[in-house]
Amino acid sequence: MVVAFKEENSVAFKHLFLKGYPGTDEDDYSCSVYTQEDAYESIFFAISQYHHLKNISLGTLGYGENEDNRIGLKVCKQHYKKGTMFPSNETLNIDSDIEIDCVHLDLSKSPEEWKNLSFFRLEFYRLLQVEISFHLKGIDLQTIHSRELPDCYVFQNTITLDNKAHSGKIKIYFDSDAKIEECKDLNISGPIQKNTQYVLVFDALVIVICLASLILCTRSIVLALRLRKRFLNFFLEKYNRRVCNADQWEFINGWYVLVIISDLMTIIGSILKMEIKAKNLTNYDLCSILLGTSTLLVWVGVIRYLGYFQAYNVLILTMQASLPKVLRFCACAGMIYLGYTFCGWIVLGPYHDKFEDLNTVAECLFSLVNGDDMFATFAQIQQKSALVWLFSRLYLYSFISLFIYMILSLFIALITDSYDTIKKYQQNGFPETDLQEFLKECGSKEKYQKEPSAFLSCICCLRRKGSDDPLILVN
């Protein structure tokens, strides 16, 4: 809700302060002007709107103080120190040092008077950027509905007219930075129930339960590690050979590790959430990422219980079996993918939006592999230089063909192969590892000898532990 409030305020500011704002941003900038007249009008429009804010704005806005505790607009212009330029003669006389001039416009004079300021005689050929910055204060009354105290905001707005490219197009950026502050003088009558206590109690409960689950799982893992140590020594002494690595890992239950990670995330996330409720913190992102990921892990953890029925096991087993092959295969395919990514970025970067930075290239190629957005990608590079056009065709056709027809098909071959292996195992029994052989042997010995040994009781204990599974909770 806080994110939405900031977002809506930002949109409202753009409509208020940008002349001719079309409702959506053009690119990474909000709008652009192409003539000197428009540039001046954009600047004076913002100034005028600021002066009449009270009579215009629909929001709960008031003027805020600057860094230097003054109310008003601060207009700064950056330009090259001095210079004359006659492009017709290709004569350029410029000092590349950059000078910054600032002026503070308070509310004492009317916007019309400010217009006549000599500061606003802009020499566009050496102008780099004009920056209009002002602070506004606002109150988010919406929270009253949800029975919470309203938040006060300070909006640091900056309008930037960027002429750095000197290409005849000035891009206008609008940047609104909102900070939450506690309101100084709140006086709210009426029935505001503070039911946040119940939420806090619930959060605390979640933390306690997760903590319990965390401790139990950690104990299981610690015990298992101790058991492994004893088993290794025992094996080394008795059979005089080392236990293979895979067998050593068998002792550590991967599911417990999953639960531990999930619990840790839930606990940290819940603590952050309580802090946010208490207005001590404002960073929602980390909190939501932690809680979100823990939810994902909890759901994945449910598969474990399905795995107790053998027939349900196939997904997990096949993924386990095919994982090393798939990863190795991905490493190879990844090389080619990286190659194409870099190549596309270098060659097509200046001609194609989707190839502008490495990250977008990777996304675009990934989408292409999965059959998305193909025609649009082809079409976007239509009317450029013939050489690049030819290269882009070769590039796209070869990439798509290679990945969709060769590599995706190989994936299917890999998985089908793993599935067949698993199926055969399920019918004929899995190949036994040292550990399993040993356990079987022990088991058969035990049957005949009925001698409870400390070692085996420990294994049983581990097994018993496994059954009182730590609680898993979805928040």
In the region spanning residues 164 to 223, those forming contacts with a second copy, defined by CB under 8 A, are: 164-170, 181, 183-192
Question: In this structure, are residues 376 and 352 in contact, taking their beta carbons and an 8 Å threshold?
Answer: no
30 vs 23: CA distance, rounded Å: 9
| DSSP single-letter state for residue 403 | I
454 binds a second copy, rule: CB under 8 A? no
Nearest distance, CB of residue 238 and a second copy, angstroms? 33
Among 108, 118, 383, 427, interactor with a second copy by CB under 8 A: 383
Q: Which of residues 122-141 bind a second copy (CB under 8 A)?
A: 124-125, 136-141
Q: Which two tokens stand for residue 139?
A: 């109150």
Q: Which of 175, 203, 275, 373 binds a second copy (CB under 8 A)?
A: 373
- Give the span between the Cα atoms of 234 and 442, in whole angstroms: 13
Q: Which residues are registered as beta bridge partners of 429?
A: none
Q: How far apart, in whole angstroms, are the C-alpha atoms of residue 163 and residue 131?
A: 11
Q: Which span sits near a second copy by CB under 8 A: 83-91, 197-205, 231-239, 432-440? A: 83-91
- Please tell me the distance from the alpha carbon of residue 341 to that of residue 336, in angstroms, as a whole number: 9
Handedness of CA 444, 450, 455, 458 (dihedral sign): positive
Q: Which stretch binds a second copy (CB under 8 A): 110-118, 231-239, 290-298, 428-436?
A: 290-298
Token pair 């990863």 is at which residue?
327
Report in angstroms how near the CB of residue 438 gets to a second copy at its nearest.
28
Place of tokens 């909770």: 473
CA distance 456 to 190: 68
Which residues, 8 to 47, sit near a second copy by CB under 8 A? 8-9, 11-13, 15-16, 28, 33-37, 39
Q: How far is the CB of 150 from a second copy (least distance, A)?
A: 7
By CB under 8 A, the residues from 238 to 267 that bind a second copy are none
Give the footprint of a second copy on residues 414-453 (CB under 8 A).
Answer: 414-417, 419-420, 423
Select 119 or 124, whichever has its Cβ closest to a second copy.
124
| Contact set for a second copy, span 292-351 (CB under 8 A) | 292-293, 295-300, 302-303, 306, 311-312, 314-316, 318-319, 322, 324-326, 328-329, 331-333, 335-336, 338-340, 342-347, 349-351
Task: Please count the other Cβ atoms lying within 10 Å of the Cβ belonging to residue 343.
Answer: 15
- Residue 151 or 247: the one with the smaller Cβ distance to a second copy is 151
Please answer whether residues 378 and 285 qualify as being in contact, where contact means their C-beta atoms are separated by less than 8 angstroms: no
Residues 6+ apart with CB under 8 A from 184: 152
Q: What is the C-alpha to C-alpha distance for residues 183 and 3, in angstroms, rounded to an integer?
A: 19
Q: In this chain, which of 70, 95, 104, 208 binds a second copy, going by CB under 8 A?
A: 95
